[in-house]
Chains A and B, each alone.
Chain A
Amino acid sequence: MAAIENAHFTTLKGAYDQETMEATLKVRRYDPETGKSRFDTFTVTIPVTATVLDALDAIKDTCDGTLSYRKSCRMSVCGSCGMRVDGGAALACKTSMRKFVEAGHTITVSPMGNLPVIKDLVVDMTPFWDKIRAIKPYLDTKDADTPAKEWRINPEDTALIHKESLCILCGCCVSECNSMESDPEFLGPAALAKAYRFVGDARDKDTRERLRDLSGAHGIWDCTRCYFCNQRCPKGVDPRDAIAKLGAESFKEGFTSDAGAKHAKVFVDSTYKGGFLRETELVPKTIGPANAIKDIPFALQLARAGKVPNPLSPHKAKDNDEVKRLWKLLEKEAKGQPRRATATHPDAVQEG
């Protein structure tokens, strides 16, 4: 062993040296005993490398020990510290304080949205976990003969669910979900991304049943495509993309009876035929002619406000054939993709 005798120190000099800065934070408080909310402002001295979580810790240790929030790993993997920073959900431990301090900006920290608040920055995650449980969040290989060794799966096939596998269930996407705000029963971006993780898994044999259930009420088609979930996800899961993939897969299985699915289909058919969306067809084809009649007064109101295009001479693209050619190209490309990942029983593999 070289040179142990040269290592004369049990202690390293400068091990704790860190440049510091002063930061001010406005924090939303909620006291469950009185039911009252307020904002408190704190100023703390923190290292220049500090995150929002470090700043909260400094507040708790030196200013006010009653401040409550969840934390654990402080390395963006456990998903405990989701909260709103300046109104948008983020992981406190992944959000650096330095840029705010340098800009002279006082951040506002508040609890995540769409979930009941327990105390200060702590929310009740029960509705979140209920939805995760609702999508049958485990692999189902049905009656497949379990191999003695691993299933064989090509690396490209595991890559199909790579992004969804990164999800840490922190709830940041759910906090910002617009659809859930109006329909609290909507499964929501986290549960749906988790669902795609199984639909896209080569080993799962419950695909059809999963897609049937997911394309029902409060499912895939209730997403409003606002993309806030993609924007706010701290791990690059892109839940909206997963929901789009679920939609495409459920179409392949013929689950097109939901109004949302029909709505999507009208878009596709209409643009194929005329190169443009024919809005007049959209409502009856989405919710059915009978229901569409009920909406006539609303349509007239819209027409008076100049919001309805002329139903008698709809838009048509000048070169509709080009649209159709583009369409065929897309269709061909889609066929070139593997429809779904496959897992092979090791006994069925010829060893070369």
Chain B
Amino acid sequence: MIRHDVIVLGAGLAGMRAAIEAKRAGVDVAVISKLHPTRSHSGAAEGGINAALGNATEDSPESHTYDTIKGSDYLGDQDAIEVMCREAPDDIYELEHMGAIFTRASDGKLAQRPFGAAGAPRTVYSADITGHVLIHVLYEQLVKYEIKVYEEFFATRVVVDEGRCAGVIAWDTQKGGLHAIEANHVILATGGVGRMYYGTTNAFACTGDGMSLAWNAGVPLKDMEFMQVHPTTLKSNGVLITEGCRGEGGYLRNKDGERFMVHDAPNAMELASRDVVSRAEWREIADGRGVDGCVMLDLTHLGWKKLKSRLPGSRELAMDYAGVDPIEQPIPVRPGAHYQMGGVDCDIWGETMVPGLWAAGEVACVSVHGANRLGGNSLMETIVFGRRAGQAAAERVFEQGDTGARIEPAALADEDRRIAAILNNSEGERPGVLREELAKTMYDKAGVYRTGEALLECQDKVHDLRERAKTLSLDDHSSVFNTDLTTALELLSLLECADCLVTSAVARKESRGAHSRLDFTTRDDDHWLKHTLNWNDGGEVRLDYRPVTITTHQPLARSY
């Protein structure tokens, strides 16, 4: 039996940051990840990371807090937002000391660019490959601190023993076989679930595994109806074109060349909040003012020099996947699922209702993003709350030592039977078929605009898919690097998360942030200024609600 003080599940920014903090505190920590750490999707983040350093113009954590609360459409918990915005600057400086290669201003300080719905240029960045730079600097630290990584291990179960988290059961993808890995504390940092949508910026790996693990361990998922749709993604494969393009002065135009944001956000224009821009684009396309199902992101007026120095990655992506050089031509873009604001319910230290189980990053819902996340806040969340979860879990190890929770042989045997049943089955449908049906259903019926009718159809379809997924037909029954098996397991996670999302969305009869209903077009604070909780009730979703934490900012109408 393998045993560690702390296990971190997932090796993106939140996971690695948590592991580094726990290791520095002096506890035995290991990371389990289905991908090599540098393959994690945090590395695809482009635009930047928000902290009120005040390098470009005057700024303050209070101003960052206010923008984030307003951006969340007042659904974010204000105590959590205050923590993030207050601690962000020191975390940025620490990343810089670790070696992060950020873009510099002429005075040698960290440069900061404007991002949507932000009161000041607050986004620290590394050209348009900020996530790439950060994932590599944290991996460097992981090597420096000699942290053990179980690479390409796919966690299939979080084990709860007499109400306490006892560790995880994981499948060794490279060699095959299940392993029980015990720990006093498990930190979930497995990222998002964008792959439940057809048009998505997310990597293939973003399948909500950690959300599903927590849900099945008895922790509710929170605010799952709020899936952020990013306004600028490519039609061919959903790849993200950063908000930094608009931060650097890019325009959005319809087929007539009009900057249509003038109708929706006459002041902020293209730099309004993401939900606002996505809705405006959807309207333009739906009303026939799009070009081949897209609107145009025009960067041609920025000049080749700026494009090459500030946005070289976006240019590469546009040329590779849209066949367009943005120096000469506008890029066709459309809204695509980007970020799950909801996730595993946890407190401001990342602790869930199951003692010993923690969460940080996109998998978690602290909640700092509420109904709509601001660009540049997700990277900051991973660092601040990853560090806090690592620190808090380590402190708990020093206080409590061995919690006594164990993975009994029977638990491993049960899981072995479940996995073997999937692995050996050749009856039923292929996972890829169900995954595509799910993705199209979600994109069509639970996307930018929603109606009760479409959501109910979506819910029926998700239930039908969950039923059909009980027998999945695998071609590959072998044990070494069986990606047919991992694809099937990922589909099961996606379906559970989709059920939580759509069930919450059916119930929420208002429009708030990313949840925009054509049958309930306004925000309804009297009835819906509250978090949705999704409990696992014998495999079905049971809804529950909890008040939002409001400290200083009372809800106001939101306009840009």
Q: Which A residues are within 8 Å of any B CB, using their own CB?
A: 1-4, 6-18, 32-33, 47, 49, 51, 54, 57, 60-62, 64-66, 68-80, 94, 96, 118-120, 122, 125, 129, 132-133, 137-139, 141, 146-155, 158, 161-162, 165-169, 198, 201, 203-204, 344, 349
Quick one: which of A7, A18, A122, A129 has the most chain B CB within 10 A? A7
Instruction: Describe A's contact surface by its main secondary structure.
Output: loop
Residues A139 and B133 in contact, CB atoms below 8 Å apart: no
Supplied contacts A68-B476, A152-B109, 4 more A-B pairs, CB within 8 Å: A7-B286, A18-B236, A77-B43, A165-B126
Any A CB within 8 A of the CB of B98: yes
The chain A residue sitting closest to B448, CB to CB, is: A10
Roughly how many angstroms separate A80 CA and B280 CA in the complex, as a whole number? Answer: 36
CB <8 Å contact, B93 and A6: no
Stretch of B31-39, B370-378, B390-398 lying at the A interface: B31-39
Known: A17-B293, A47-B236, A65-B476. A150 touches B93 (CB 8 A): yes
Q: Which of B98, B103, B445 contacts A11 (CB 8 A)?
A: B445
**Contact flag A150-B321 (CB < 8 Å), given A32-B480, A169-B38:** no
A162 — which chain B residues lie within 8 A by C-beta? 101
B287 CB, min distance to chain A CBs, angstroms: 6
A100 to B450, CA, bound (A): 41
A residues near B131, Cβ cutoff 8 Å: 77
Docked pose: A335 CA to B484 CA in angstroms: 58
CB distance from A90 to the nearest CB of B (A): 12
What's the least CB distance linking B113 to chain A, in Å?
14
Most B CB within 10 A of own CB, among A13, A54, A96, A155: A155
B286 touches A165 (CB 8 A): no
B428 interface contact, C-beta 8 A: no
**A140–chain B nearest beta-carbon distance, Å:** 9
Segment of B67-75, B136-144, B545-553 engaged in the interface with chain A: B136-144
Residue on A nearest B176 in the bound complex, by CB: A32
Inter-chain contacts of A61 with B (CB < 8 A): 430, 432-433
CB distance from B259 to the nearest CB of A (A): 13
Q: Contacts A118-B480, A122-B481 hold; do A138 and B144 have CB atoms under 8 A apart?
A: yes
Name the residue of chain B whose CB is nearest to the CB of A165: B101
Q: Which of B43, B198, B482 touches A78 (beta carbons < 8 Å)?
A: B43
- In the assembled complex, the Cα of A14 lies from the Cα of B433 at a distance in Å of 20
- Chain A residues with Cβ under 8 A from B286's Cβ? 6-9, 12
CB–CB A4/B108 < 8 A = no
- Is there contact, CB below 8 Å, between A49 and B237? yes
Asked if A78 meets B133 with Cβ closer than 8 Å, knowing A155-B106, A158-B104, the reply is no
Give the complex CA separation of A79 and B321 in angstroms: 17
Instruction: Among A17, A66, A73, A344, point to the contact of B476 (Cβ < 8 A).
Output: A66
CB distance from B389 to the nearest CB of A (A): 22
**Would A137 and B97 count as touching, CB distance under 8 A?**
no
List residues 411-456 of chain B with CB under 8 A from any CB of chain A: 430, 432-433, 440, 443-445, 447-451, 454
- Complex CA gap A154/B98 in Å reads 18
Residues of chain B in range 186-231 having any CB-CB distance to chain A below 8 Å: 198-199, 203-205
Residue of B41, B99, B104 near A201 (CB, 8 A) is B99
**Given known A66-B476, A72-B204, A79-B39, contact A15–B108 (CB-CB < 8 A):** no
Chain B, residues 105-148, CB within 8 Å of chain A (1/0): the string is: 11111100000000000000010010111001000110110000
Q: Name B239's contact: one of A75, A79, A147, A154 (CB within 8 Å).
A: A75
Are B478 and A66 closer than 8 Å at their CB atoms?
yes
Q: B507 at interface (Cβ–Cβ under 8 A)?
A: no
8 Å CB interface, B288-321 against A: 292-293, 313, 316-317, 320-321
Pair B38/A2 contact, Cβ less than 8 Å: no
B138-182 residues with Cβ-Cβ distance < 8 A to A are: 140-141, 143-144, 174
Q: Which of A17, A18, A66 contacts B484 (CB 8 A)?
A: A66
Q: List 15 A-B contacts (CB under 8 A).
A: A10-B449, A15-B293, A32-B480, A47-B236, A49-B237, A73-B203, A76-B316, A77-B129, A80-B36, A125-B36, A150-B109, A151-B97, A155-B104, A166-B129, A168-B38
User: A77 near B132 (CB under 8 angstroms)?
Assistant: yes
Q: Tell me whether A68 and B483 are in contact (CB under 8 A).
A: yes
Asked if B87 is at the interface of the complex by the 8 Å CB criterion, the answer is no
B40 CB-CB contact with A under 8 Å: yes
Contacts of B129 in A (CB 8 A): 77, 166
Residues of B within 8 A of A (CB): 35-36, 38-41, 43-44, 53, 92-93, 96-99, 101-110, 126, 129, 131-133, 136, 140-141, 143-144, 174, 198-199, 203-205, 236-237, 239-240, 263-264, 279-280, 282-283, 285-287, 292-293, 313, 316-317, 320-321, 323, 334, 430, 432-433, 440, 443-445, 447-451, 454, 474-476, 478, 480-484, 518, 521
Please tell me if the beta carbons of B44 and A78 are within 8 angstroms of each other in the complex. yes
- Residue numbers in B under 8 Å from A18 (CB-CB): 236
A338 CB to nearest chain B CB (Å): 14
Known: A4-B279, A165-B101. A72 touches B108 (CB 8 A): no
With A15-B443, A66-B476, A151-B96: A72-B41 Cβ-Cβ less than 8 Å: yes
A9-B205 Cα distance, complex, nearest whole Å: 30
- Contacts A150-B110, A152-B109, A155-B104 given: A78-B38 contact, CB under 8 Å? yes
Does B474 contact A65, Cβ atoms closer than 8 Å? Answer: yes
Which one, B140, B240, B282, contacts A12 given CB within 8 A? B282
**Bound Cα distance from A7 to B287, whole angstroms:** 7
Q: Is the CB of A7 within 8 A of B143?
A: no
Known: A94-B320, A137-B140. A78 touches B99 (CB 8 A): no
Determine the residue in chain A with the shortest Cβ distance to B108. Answer: A152
Tell me, in angstroms, the Cα distance from A104 to B349 when the chains sit together: 58
A22 to chain B minimum Cβ distance, whole angstroms, is 18
Could you tell me the distance between the alpha carbons of A132 and B131 in the complex, rounded to whole angstroms? 20
A78 near B39 with CB under 8 A, answer yes
Asked if residues A7 and B444 are in contact (CB atoms below 8 Å), the reply is: no
Closest 5 CB pairs of A and B: A65-B475, A152-B108, A139-B99, A61-B432, A2-B263
On whether A146 and B132 interact (CB within 8 A), knowing A10-B444, A65-B430, A152-B109, the answer reads: no
CA distance A4 to B240 in the complex (A): 25
Chain A residues with Cβ below 8 Å from B481 are 32, 68, 118-120, 122
Cβ contacts under 8 Å, B451 to chain A: 10
Shortest Cβ distance from residue B258 to the other chain A in the assembled complex, whole angstroms: 13
Chain B residues within 8 Å of A349, by CB: 108
Contacts of B36 in A (CB 8 A): 80, 125, 129
Contact of B475 among A3, A66, A147 (CB under 8 A): A66
Cβ–Cβ < 8 Å partners of B432 in chain A: 57, 60-62
Known: A74-B237, A165-B101. Is A7-B282 also a contact (CB below 8 A)?
yes
The CA-CA distance from A60 to B39 in the complex, in Å, is 21
Q: How far does the Cβ of B434 sit from chain A's closest Cβ, in whole Å?
A: 11
Say whether B445 contacts A10, CB under 8 Å. Answer: yes
Assess A119 versus B203: contact at CB under 8 Å? Given A8-B286, A165-B133. no
Give Cα A349–Cα B518 distance, bound, in whole angstroms: 56
Establish whether residues A158 and B320, one from each chain, have CB atoms under 8 Å apart when the complex forms.
no
Chain B residue contacts of A203, Cβ below 8 A: 97, 99
Q: Which residue of B lies closest to A63 (CB)?
A: B475
In the complex, what residue of chain B is closest to A2 when comparing beta carbons?
Answer: B263
Q: What are the residues of chain B within 8 A of A47 when measuring CB–CB?
A: 236
A68 partner residues in chain B, CB cutoff 8 A: 476, 481-483
The answer for the CA separation of A139 and B100 in the assembled complex, in Å, is 9
A33 touches B480 (CB 8 A): yes
CA distance A119 to B444 in the complex (A): 37
Return chain B residues, CB-CB under 8 Å to A9: 286, 449
Contact A10 B475 (CB under 8 A): no
Distance of B551 from chain A, by nearest CB (Å):
28
The contact of A49 among B107, B126, B236, B474, by CB within 8 Å, is: B236
Q: Chain B residues with Cβ under 8 A from A71's Cβ?
A: 204
**Docked-complex contact B38 and A79, CB < 8 angstroms:** yes
A336 to chain B, nearest CB (A): 21
- Contact B205 A72, beta carbon cutoff 8 Å: yes
Identify which of B93, B444, B482 contacts A149 (C-beta below 8 A): B93
B435 nearest CB neighbor, chain A only? A61
Cβ A64 vs Cβ B475 within 8 A:
yes
